Amino acid sequence: MLTACNSSQERVNSDEATLVGEDSTSFISTRFVPPQNKQLLFIGQDSDTIRDYIAAVPEDNIEAVTLYSQLKHSDPNQTLKGIHESASWNSGEVSFPKTLAASPQAAIAIGLALDTCNGQANHTENVAQGNYDASLAQLVTTLKSWAPRKVFLRIGYEFDGPWNCYQPDSYKAAFRHIKQAIDNNGATNIATVWQSATWPDGYGNKDYDVREKDHFEKWYPGDDVVDWVSMSVFYRDLSNWNYVPPSTPDFGQQKMLAFARAHNKPLMISEAAPQGYRTEALTQSVIQENKPSPVSAEQIWLQWYQPFFDFIEQNKDVIRAVAYINTQWEAQGMWICEPNIAAGQQGCNNGNWGDSRVQANEYIKSKWLEQINDESTWIQTSQYE
Query: What interhelical angle do 133-145 and 168-184 show, nearest 10?
Result: 50
Contacts of 326 (CB under 8 A, 6+ apart): 43, 44, 49, 53, 273, 356, 357, 358, 359
In this predicted structure, what is the pLDDT of residue 26? 72
In this predicted structure, what is the pLDDT of residue 29? 63
Other C-beta atoms closer than 10 Å to the C-beta of 302 total 12
Q: What one-letter code names the amino acid at 322? A: V
Phi, psi of 88 (to 5 degrees): -150, 140
Comparing CA positions, the residue from 20, 63, 39, 17 lying closest to residue 267 is 39
Calculate the average pLDDT of the chain. Answer: 93
What's the pLDDT tens digit per position in 353-375? Answer: 999 999 999 999 999 999 999 99
In this predicted structure, what is the pLDDT of residue 30? 81
Alpha-carbon span 338 to 351, nearest angstrom: 10
What's the pLDDT tens digit per position in 64-119? Answer: 999 999 999 999 999 999 999 999 999 999 999 999 999 999 999 999 999 999 89
What's the pLDDT tens digit per position in 205-253? Answer: 999 999 999 999 999 999 999 999 999 999 999 999 999 999 999 999 9
Other C-beta atoms closer than 10 Å to the C-beta of 366 total 13
Do residues 300 and 277 touch, judged by C-beta distance below 8 A? yes
Alpha-carbon span 173 to 151, nearest angstrom: 21
196 DSSP β-pair partners: 231
Cα 185 → chain centroid: 24
Comparing CA positions, the residue from 45, 94, 99 lying closest to residue 328 is 45
In this predicted structure, what is the pLDDT of residue 60? 96
* b/e code 123-146 from CB counts within 10 Å (16+ = b): bbbbbbeeebeebbebbbebbbeb
Q: Is 376 exposed, middle or buried (0-12, 13-18, 19+ CB in 10 A)?
A: exposed
pLDDT band at 152 (very low <50, low <70, confident <90, very high): very high
In this predicted structure, what is the pLDDT of residue 202? 97
Phi, psi of 178 (to 5 degrees): -65, -45
Do residues 68 and 110 touch, judged by C-beta distance below 8 A? yes
Do residues 29 and 191 touch, judged by C-beta distance below 8 A? no
pLDDT at 24 > cutoff 70: no
In this predicted structure, what is the pLDDT of residue 25? 61
pLDDT at 7 > cutoff 70: no
In this predicted structure, what is the pLDDT of residue 318? 96
In percent, the amount of the chain with pLDDT more than 70 equals: 93
In this predicted structure, what is the pLDDT of residue 27? 84
What's the pLDDT tens digit per position in 263-303? Answer: 999 999 999 999 999 999 999 999 999 999 999 999 999 99
Other C-beta atoms closer than 10 Å to the C-beta of 211 total 14
Does pTM surpass 0.85?
A: yes
pLDDT at 314 > cutoff 70: yes
Comparing CA positions, the residue from 359, 339, 358, 337 lying closest to residue 348 is 337
Report the alpha-carbon angle 243-249-255, nearest 5. Answer: 145
Alpha-carbon span 226 to 228, nearest angstrom: 6
